[in-house]
Amino acid sequence: MHVIVCIKQVPDSTKISIDPVTKTLMREGVESILNPFDEYALEVALRIKDEKGARVTVVSMGPPQATAIIREALARGADDGVLLSDRAFAGADTLATAYALTTAIQKINPRPDLVLFGKQAIDGDTAQVGPGVSEDLGFPLVTYVRDLKIADDGTYTVETVMDAGIDVLEGKLPAVMTVVKEAAVPRFATLAGWVRAKRAPVTVWTAKDTGADPARLGLNGSPTKVVDTFPPPVKTGGRVVDASKDPAAGVAAIVALMKEKKLGVA
Amino acid sequence: MADAPIFIDPEKCKGCTKCVNNCPFGALSMETRPERKQKLAVVDGGACRACNKCVTSCPFKAITMVETEKSGVSDLAAYKDIWVFAEQDGGKVLDVAFELLATGRKLADKRGCRLCAALLGHNLGDEPKRLIAGGADVVYVADQPELAQYEANVYTEALSKLIEEHKPEVVLAGATGVGRAFFARVATRCRTGLTADCTRLEIAPSPDGKTMLLHQTRPAFGGNIMATIMTPDHRPQMSTVRPKVFKKAEPDFSRKGEIKPEVLELAKACTRLVKAIRDPNAVNIQDASIIVAGGRGLKKAENFALCEKLAKMLGGVVGCSRACVDAGWIDVAHQVGQTGKTVCPKLYLACGISGAIQHLEGMKSSDTIIAINSDPNAPIFGVADLGIVGDVFEILPQLIAALEKETAKQEGR
């Protein structure tokens, strides 16, 4: 069995702030991390490896420094990893990203059993690339997986988290699945894992290496165009009461407003 | 340094630094060159996100986007009408579809085209009529047993076939669990663009002024910035919008519209639903009229008890910011914001939430917002009707006591 996990390096968005003067992002010093949802996907893959001896390959697209997350995945137990890194990929929207990843997956193995994604990346929050790859690969799509059991004949039972509750589905591999947080608690890399990962070669492919159609990559292959960016509209907000030295004044203001608007109090 | 998606013409650059100051990503800087008097703007291709800001801000038209070849559909004019995917569950159309119809109505009027709903399901009864009352001019209905239950692969095929046949110019869907999953696959099959979680949609002229396009605005690039996105050369232009971002209109059952039944030939489902587990007690923050939300300022899981107590008193539910879910203090079902749920309650009481843009996008349309935070500069105060600068651990217990007193007063009367 061969499981391919698509992973992404993202800025640790809890640490991004906005420059109050220029209203631009202050990215200096912001750490890059493995997208948390991808950690859960990787863990699901590693558990399949533990149980069934599957080969686990990770794939990412990003700048050369994204080899860091490939090595992190190797340290945790992935068998091999590929980074797609080329100027031709840059500026890709979700359609172009899904296409690029698909060309890499097909080169790694034209018929993998399972392709896993985190349910979304925390920088773009679109959740669109996993479904896009399922279409490009022609594999069935299963989203928001919180539990996955695979039988020896390749049939699987999954629990998926829907808005109204949990749906239990049955199907047969291959499939593309996206994974939610509840699916698995990620393991830590062991020291031996890090030592191995540090020495392991990380394969880096350019667009030429995957044989992708250049017209479908990067900016050229992206139907969506960002035409403007702007800081979020500055709202003036309402009244502010400084209750730092006098909590009672703050409480009185809240109770008065709730009474006025008939919210929870008569 | 990597090649960049923009080109700065050294002949035209006058060294004014406007682009450097306007770049949201710090990708531009000024360099001294021995061959010229003024400094020259240079771009770091690794940091540039092709957002177009410098191109529009350069007074000397020195910056252009590097685009080698254009892809897209050749017969843009063949695509007409604005569509809303009318998601249903158990034969009932969801509120989000009516919210999209209300906005879609304005877009269609501006564009001068029809507003259509696409309804997939089985035993749909009078739902098509409700869609017309909600603003649709035409309802395409595929009412067949294979579509009774959502299945990603069958739904992808069904909606893609309708799009291929009727060629809508715009298709909108709710960013629900269902919408976020199969709609992205539909967009990929149509080889067109899809913009997720839009917070504003407008029909306005394209940058070249030749046509009218859907302007899709959303928080982007993982930070405190908004982006307006267009799909100029591909059709349909597709967007998802989260529930509760737009308001639905009052139904008008005197509206006239056309119901068009569709019979689709569909492949077999790839997965089979064996069990649907529904918990009637599950927290549903989207339907709550009062939300008491806690943030990082609560410092630990146990302190959510304060929010729970207050929420219970007010007949509300507990919400939270992403930091609390990431820290494992509370279940993701309570999360408000871009990664969680968008809410629009009568009262949103934010306790110890600083208000990152992703959080504000999820709650800013609430009727009344009260925020308690120790930092007077917290962005949450920018959207709050009433902001209290203070310590949540002092204010919340006193607030609970004060409200208990109020209730006792009422009962004693």
Residues 6+ apart with CB under 8 A from A186: A39, A40, A42, A43, A76
A157, A265: one domain: no
A71, A189: one domain: yes
- Within-domain flag for A35: yes
Taking 60 as the threshold, does the pLDDT of residue A123 lie above it? yes
Q: What is the pLDDT of residue B127?
A: 97
- Within-domain flag for A226: no
Q: What is the pLDDT of residue A177?
A: 98
- Name which of B333, B320, B328 is nearest B281 in CA terms: B333
> How far is residue B310's CA from residue B282's CA, in Å, rounded to a whole number?
19
Overall number of domains in chain A: 2
Query: Percentage of chain A with pLDDT > 90?
Result: 76
Domain of residue A169, residue span: 2-216
Q: What is the pLDDT of residue B69?
A: 54
Taking 70 as the threshold, does the pLDDT of residue B223 lie above it? no
Query: Would you list the DSSP string of B138-176?
Result: EEEEEE-GGGSS--HHHHHHHHHHHHHHH--SEEEEE-S
B209 touches A: beta carbon within 8 Å: no
B50 or B198, which is more confident: B198
B272 touches A: beta carbon within 8 Å: yes
Query: Percentage of chain B with pLDDT > 70?
Result: 96
CATH fold of B6-65: Alpha-Beta Plaits (3.30.70)
pLDDT mean over A167-188: 96
Whether A141 and B182 lie within 8 Å, measured CB to CB: yes
A45, A160: one domain: yes
B133 or A228, which is more confident: B133
CA distance B99 to chain A (A): 17
Q: Which backbone phi and psi does B197 adopt, to 5 degrees?
A: 55, 50
For residues B261 and B144, the answer to whether their CB atoms sit within 8 Å is no
Q: What is the pLDDT of residue B23?
A: 86
A62, A186: one domain: yes
- Within-domain flag for A221: no
A95, A212: one domain: yes
Query: Percentage of chain A with pLDDT > 70?
Result: 91
Question: String of b and e for A76-110 (b: at least 16 CB within 10 Å)?
Answer: bbbebbbbbbbbbbbbbbbbbbbbbbbbbbbebee
A67, A30: one domain: yes
Q: Which backbone phi and psi does B13 adopt, to 5 degrees?
A: -65, 125
Whether A141 and B152 lie within 8 Å, measured CB to CB: yes
- Angle at Cα A125 formed by Cα A37 and Cα B335, nearest 5°? 75
- Within-domain flag for A230: no
- Name which of B133, B313, B378 is nearest A235 in CA terms: B378
Band (A251; pLDDT cuts 50, 70, 90): very high
Tell the CATH superfamily of the B285-412 domain: TPP-binding domain (3.40.50.1220)
- Residue numbers in B near A129 (CB within 8 A): 184
CA distance B18 to chain A (A): 12
> What pTM, to 2 d.p., does this model score?
0.83
Q: Of the candidates A124, A128, A244, which has its C-beta nearest B222's C-beta?
A: A124
Identical fold, B76-261 and B285-412 = yes
A77, A174: one domain: yes
Average pLDDT, chain A: 91
Q: What is the pLDDT of residue A35?
A: 94
CA distance A167 to chain B (A): 5
- Within-domain flag for A160: yes
What's the pLDDT tens digit per position in A189-213?
999 999 999 988 899 999 999 999 9
Q: What is the pLDDT of residue B339?
A: 80
pLDDT mean over A167-196: 95
How do the domains of chain B map onto residue ranges?
Answer: 6-65, 76-261, 285-412
Q: Of the candidates B183, B215, B290, which has its C-beta nearest A264's C-beta?
A: B290
CA distance A141 to chain B (A): 6
A207, A245: one domain: no
A255, A164: one domain: no
CATH number at residue A51: 3.40.50.620
Whether B316 and A11 lie within 8 Å, measured CB to CB: no
CB contacts < 8 A (A, B): 342
For B295-362, where are the E strands, in sequence order? 317-320, 347-351
CATH fold of B76-261: Rossmann fold (3.40.50)
A241, A209: one domain: no
Taking 70 as the threshold, does the pLDDT of residue A117 lie above it? yes
Q: What is the pLDDT of residue B224?
A: 64
- Name which of B220, B184, B164 is nearest B357 in CA terms: B220
Question: In terms of CA atoms, which chain B residue is nearest residue A167?
Answer: B276
pLDDT mean over A155-173: 95
A159, A255: one domain: no
What's the pLDDT tens digit per position in B30-82?
998 888 888 999 998 777 877 788 888 899 999 988 765 566 776 888 999 99
A152, A243: one domain: no
> How far is residue A94's CA from residue A133's CA, in Å, rounded to a whole number?
10
Phi-psi region of B322 (alpha: psi -120 to 50; beta: other; left: phi over 0): alpha
Query: Would you list the DSSP string of A8-45?
Result: -EEE-GGG-EE-TTT--EE-TTPPEEE-HHHHHHHHHH
Three-state secondary structure call for residue B354: coil
